[in-house]
Each structure stands twice: as C-alpha cells, then as structure tokens.
Chains A and B, each alone.
Chain A
Amino acid sequence: MTAMDLALFGADPWWVVLIKAVFVFALLLVLTLFNIVFERKVVGRMQHRKGPTMNGPFGWLQSLADGMKLMFKEDFMPTAADKVVFNLAPFLSAVPALTAWAVIPIAGTVTVPFTDRQTNLQLTDLPMAVLFLLAIASIGIYGIVLAGWSSGSTYSLLGGLRSSAQMISYEIAMGLSLVAVFLLAGSMSTSEIVAAQQQPVVVLGADVGITGWYALLLAPSFVIYLISMVGETNRAPFDLPEAEGELVGGFHTEYSGMRFAMFFLAEYINMATVSAIAVTLFLGGWHAPWPLNQVPGIDAGYLGAVWFLAKVILLIFVFVWLRGTLPRFRYDQFMKLGWSWLIPLSLVWIVGIATVRMGREEGWFTSPAVLLGAGAVVLVAIGLALFGGRETEPETAAPTAFDPYAGGYPVPPQGEQQLPEMAGVLPGDEDTDRAGRRPDGPGHDREETS
C-alpha cells in the first residue's frame, strides 16, 4: 500500500483554508435544505402522496420557507429551565455536527478556480481523522443530553436519558466496526483509507479488476456500521429519544424557534455526516464505482465531488427508506440488539480479520498443512450443515376437542378444530341451516341461555 503524503494539507495558505471552510459550511447548509425536502418527498411517495409541492419549483424550496418561519418564530423558554444550559445545548449539538466535515474528503486534488494552486478538496486531514470524527460525535451527544436535562420537563429528561444511553451503546458498536477498516487500510486518516480502497481485489492470485471497497471486503463491518449509524443519529426505527407517541418530541419538546432549528439542522447534518463516513470508509470515497472507474478521468478534479454527493444521497435515501418501512423498536429490544448482537459480532469479526491479516504476513496460508487443515474444517462444516443433526419431526397437531368457551370467554376455532354445531354439517351444502344449528345441539342451548 502506498502511504499517501499528508504534506499537501499543511501547505495550504490561509485563504485557501478559509475558502474551503466556507465551502464546506455552505455545502452542509444546502445539503440539509435538500435533504429535508428529499426526505419528505420520498417518504410521501412511499405513502402514496406527493409531499411538499407548494413552495418553489416542485416544492423544492419548502425547507427554505420552513427555516425562515423558524427564524421569525418566538423563542420560548420554560420557567423551570436552566437558563445557561438551555441556551448552550443547541450550540453543543450543531457545532460538532458542522465540525465533523472538516476531515471528510469530498474530492481528490483540484485546482482553486482562477489560480493555479493545487489543493485537496478536504479541509484538513489528520493521522487519526476517523477517531477525530468519533470524538466530535461524542461531544454532539452532550447537546442532546443537556437539552433534555435543562428543559425542566419530564418528557425532555426521558428523551435525553434515552438518547445518551442509546448513543453510547451504539458508539461502541460503531467504533468496533471501524477497527476492521483500520486493520485493513493500515491507517486512520480518511484520505489514506480512500486511497487504500483503490487497490484491486486479488482472488486466488488473479487480479479481477474490481476495486476493493471495504463494503465488499468487510461486508459484516459495513452492515454493523449501517445499523449503528441509524442508532447513532436517533433515526427511525431507532428514534426512541423522540418517540412522539410517548415523549411528545423527546429532548427538544420545550424548544422552539431558532433554538429548535439548530437541533433540526444538527440532526440532518449528522445524518449526512454518518453517511459521508460510510461512503469514505466503506464505499470508496469520492472514486467512481467499479465498471465506470475504467473510464479515465471520470472522478478527477471536481467530478469526484459529484460521485461523493451521489453516494451520500443514496445513503440518505436508505435512511428515508428505513423510516418509511420499519416501525419503532421497543427500548429493551433495541438495547438487546446493540449489546447482545452487534458488539459481540463485531468483536468476533475483528479477531477473525486480525488472524487472517497476521497469517498472511507470517505466511501461514502458503504452507500446505494449514491449507489442508482449513479445507478439512470447511468440509466438516459443510457435512454437518447437510447431514448433521436430527431432522425435526413435522409436528402433527392432534385434533383436540374444541371448547368454544375455553377459559370462560368465547374463542374462535383454530386449525383443525371445528365448531361443535358444525360437526355434522357437510362442507358446501347450502341447503342446510346456515348456522349449522341443530335443534338439539349445544348451539341451540347456548342461544337460549345467553
């Protein structure tokens, strides 16, 4: 693997850094405005309606109108609120969300317009950029927790508590799923991870030409990351902190006006951030996907940003799709999924990856004894899967006598059971009494007694 030179990042003069920072900020605001309308339109289509159509061409300026409305709305503060913390919380939520994009590579090397200066379309890169992202995300949790606490309302407090427990739990699973990426890429810098994914896959010594995106090579990690990123952003089906049926709005119940708008902004930027991390770490970053990457120059310069944003919006679509499809989890089920499934699975997978990597470096896989042993294990596993175990006998439920008042209340017949008054009736015989009631049958008795 070629160690990419991070020197290009330190060489930018201050005005290039400023331009890039403003560019990232503007991109995030526009992306948020787009995402809100996009989500409402897509989820509307999924529910057989059109979504916003009134403001701007085809309703695409709806979120701009909403934003203006929120800006001019009165900002309430509950009497019981803790004034300082109540004001601080929205900033603690929104600022980290914006900061996270500083280390996301949006495209490769580009020329600054009207000059001949070369720079990377990424504000900065660090040797531990991905850890920086995790750190920033953990500061963002404070905004939500403190908003819940400072509102002085039970709903908000419960929402804040839920979200802190949820985000801490899912941050562990998320961090563990990223460890496999670090192991394979040999780096924690985002631009180097993107570069490492450009290595073609080698299967049995033959170069198949497909670029080795980690979504492909580390599919289990990718799936775990996708699940935990939904948990981390408090989105459906894991939106328990703002479960509207139970907690009104969760942590932001007491917020209104511009303060609420900042939480709203932070939620949508966080969605974009986790999607961007997924794109950078698992989906090849700003590079074009496999068959198209054979075309030279298809993702060069600013075209890389197009691929990058296309992939991010694809993942945003997945978010919306999940929201339109799945009902909300119950809290204990949700915690169980995180702690008893995602974290142990991640741990096992990391140990497996580390073993394989170690073995490759030590040359374990070239000696015939190891290969024979592995082959034997695979054969035994296949054999067990095919012939092992005992086949469970198909359960034949014995037709039990049907008691229409089992337990003292009326129950319908199930399976083979039959209403007692229908016992003597032949199927499809229209001439008999519809209810199948015989004058001396139990149905008749019940009719009179009830």
Chain B
Amino acid sequence: MSGQELAFWLLAPVMVLGAVGMVLARKAVHSALCLAAVMICLAIQYAALDAPFLFAVQIIVYTGAILMLFLFVVMLVGVDSDDSFVETLRGQRVFAVVLGIGLVVLLVAGLGNAVVTGPVGLTEANAQYGGNVQGLAALVFVRWVWAFEATSALLITAAVGAMVLTHRERLVPRRDQRTRAAERIRAYAETGRHPGPMPTPGVFARHNAVDTPALLPDGSVAEDSVSAPLRSRSRIRTPEELLAPMAQRHAEIAGDRQPDPAVGHQRDPRPGESVAEQGAALKASQRTQRTRGEDLSDEERI
C-alpha cells in the first residue's frame, strides 16, 4: 500500500464522519469544528498527493482565515442563540435540490472518469518546472495571469463593497480621550459628579458579587457601585438587608439578644424580601429540615 492510499484510507472515514457531524451538529460551533476537521484532512490529502503548496494554502486560507471568521461571527452573535427557521430566500429549497443533483452528476462523472482512465498524478507536472510551487507559479502568473488578475479585481471589489456598505458618516465629532476627560471635569464642576472611576461593588462578609451595592459613610447606597443594567433589571439589596445578618450575629456575640436561628444563620434575604418575612418563612422551612435531620446553615454548607 503506497503512502497516498494509506493517507486516503486513514483520512477518508474521519472526513465522512466530520461532514456528517457538520450537518447534524446542533450547536453552530460544533458544526464549524467538524468542518475544520474535514478541511484539515483534505489538506493532508493534498500533501500526500504531491501538492504541498495547496496543503499550506488550504489550511492558511480556509481553516485559518475563513472558518475562523465564521467562528468569530458565531461567537459574536451569541453562544446559544437558536437559528431562525424562517426562510428569507424564496424558492431556495428548489434551487438547493437542483444544484445538489447537479453536484452528484458532476461527482459521479468526474470520479467515474478518474476510475476508468486511471489517475494521471502530479509527478510529471511537478517535474516540468522543477517543483510543485514553481509549477503553480508558472501556471498562475504566466499562463492564467489574466484570469488570476480578474479574480483578484473581483475580490477587491467585493471587499471595497463590503466596506462601503458598512460605512457610516460620522455625524458628530469623535469624542477622544481628551474631550472625555474635559467632559468629566466639567461635569464635576457643574454637578459635582466625581470625575474618577465609579466605586466598586460592596464587599460584605457574605456578599461581594457585582449586584451588591457599596455603602457610603452615612450608610446609604452608592448608586454607581452597581452597574446600570443590573439596577434596571432587578432591585438591588438595601443596606438593611445586607447588614441584618451581621448585626444579629454581633448582638448574639455581645449577649444582649437571644440567639435567633432564623436570622443570620440561614441564607440571606433575597432582594425585595423583607427581613422579618424571610425570618418567618425560614422558621417554617427549618422545622421541616429538622425533621429531615438536615442543617443547611451557612457554616455547614461551606
């Protein structure tokens, strides 16, 4: 068995599996990965068939650039966004079937021809100009130079067209770093808004997530410490909710209050839940827990 046949029988199953996987995969990224596997196997086939230049270009252009852009777009559009099944192109199914049949006919004819007449191979063509790369260069830049130039002109036109389509006229002057700094200082002068970075989220004994507000020295919430989308999406915790468990603990430690297992030992109140309400609800839940012999107080869980 020659090296070429070995490469074929090793890679062909992988390529078929990759192609099937590309069609059947549910996630777009998995499809892209399967396609990448097919492309790389194809490139190795090229290398085995005495076409090393095509091998490198296949990987650089298709796997490295085009498929990478696919992946890029898939990631930008969203990790889990579902495909819409609304057909925007009318009659595309008919065209797809017609073109598919045409492709099958073409493949059968091409493969049949190769099987019947026997493959020519690249050995002779490569030897003609002293190598695969030189032979390709002679074809592309001498014999087919006009076709090559026309293709490149087409590609450049497409690239320029894409840039024109996405071009936007700038209606307002660009705000660079300097103007923004000046704006911040002006806002400070006029409204007293602090020109520095916004305050970080609050850090408490039990919370330091981004939705935890920081408290100002007077005990009120620093609004800017929680980002605007979070503030608009849900109500953020109030200082009372944040401080109640620790206040209870301090009181217990100081010994001037009876230990209240409902507050400070359990999960903190959810935003919007009042402390007392939560205490009552927890007492009930705790009773059921005790009967089950579980204790889910924070200390045990941690």
> Please, which residues of chain A bring their CB within 8 A of the CB of B27?
82
B188 / chain A contacts, CB cutoff of 8 Å: 409
Say whether B71 faces chain A, with CB atoms less than 8 Å apart: yes
Chain A proximity of B102: nearest CB distance (Å) = 32
A interface footprint on B33-56 (CB within 8 Å = 1, 0 otherwise): 100100010010000000011011
CA gap between A193 and B27 in the complex, in Å: 44
Q: Are A131 and B53 closer than 8 Å at their CB atoms?
A: yes
A171 to B68, CA, bound (A): 13
A198 within 8 A of B: no
Residues of A within 8 A of B65 (CB): 138, 168
Residue of A nearest to B27 (CB): A82
| Cα distance A310–B131 in the bound complex, in angstroms | 34
Q: Is the interface of A mostly helix, strand, loop or mixed?
A: helix
Check A110 for interface membership: any CB of B closer than 8 A: no
Residue contact A127 to B131, C-beta cutoff 8 Å = yes
For A150, what are the chain B residues with a Cβ–Cβ distance below 8 Å? 29
| Number of B positions contacting A (CB below 8 A) | 32
Kindly state whether residue A35 has any CB partner on chain B within 8 Å.
Answer: no
Q: Which residues of B contact A146 (CB under 8 A)?
A: 29, 33
- Complex formed: what's the CA distance from A127 to B71 in Å? 31
> A134 contacts B60, CB within 8 Å?
yes
Q: A138-B65, A164-B71 are in contact. Are A408 and B52 (CB under 8 A)?
A: no
A interface, size bucket: 35 or more
- Assess the A160–B75 pair: CB atoms within 8 A: yes
Check B256 for interface membership: any CB of A closer than 8 A. Answer: no
Within the complex, what minimum Cβ distance (angstroms) separates B233 from chain A?
16
| B52 interface neighbour in A82, A126, A137, Cβ under 8 Å | A126
A149 and B63 within 8 A (CB): no
Chain A minimum-CB-distance residue to B133: A127
Is A139 an interface residue, CB under 8 A from the partner?
Answer: yes
With contact pairs A127-B131, A138-B60, A149-B29 given, residues A164 and B68 touching in the complex (Cβ less than 8 Å): yes
Of the candidates B56, B72, B75, B131, which one forms a contact with A135 in the assembled complex, judged by CB atoms under 8 Å apart?
B56
Cross-chain contact A139 with B40 (CB below 8 angstroms):
yes
A134 in complex: contacting residue of B29, B36, B56, B132, CB < 8 Å = B56
Q: Are B79 and A149 in contact (CB-based, < 8 A)?
A: yes
On chain B, the residues within 8 Å of A260 by CB distance are none
Contact yes or no, A85 B29, CB < 8 A:
yes
Q: Could you tell me the distance in whole angstroms from the C-beta of B188 to the nearest C-beta in chain A?
A: 7
Indicate whether B76 reaches chain A with its CB closer than 8 angstroms: yes
Tell me the complex Cα distance, A171–B65, Å: 10
B108 sits at the interface (CB 8 A)? no
Contact sample, A vs B, 26 pairs, CB 8 Å cutoff: A82-B27, A85-B33, A126-B52, A128-B52, A131-B53, A131-B57, A131-B60, A138-B65, A138-B68, A139-B40, A139-B59, A141-B64, A145-B72, A148-B75, A149-B29, A149-B79, A150-B29, A157-B75, A161-B76, A164-B71, A165-B72, A168-B64, A168-B69, A175-B60, A408-B190, A409-B189
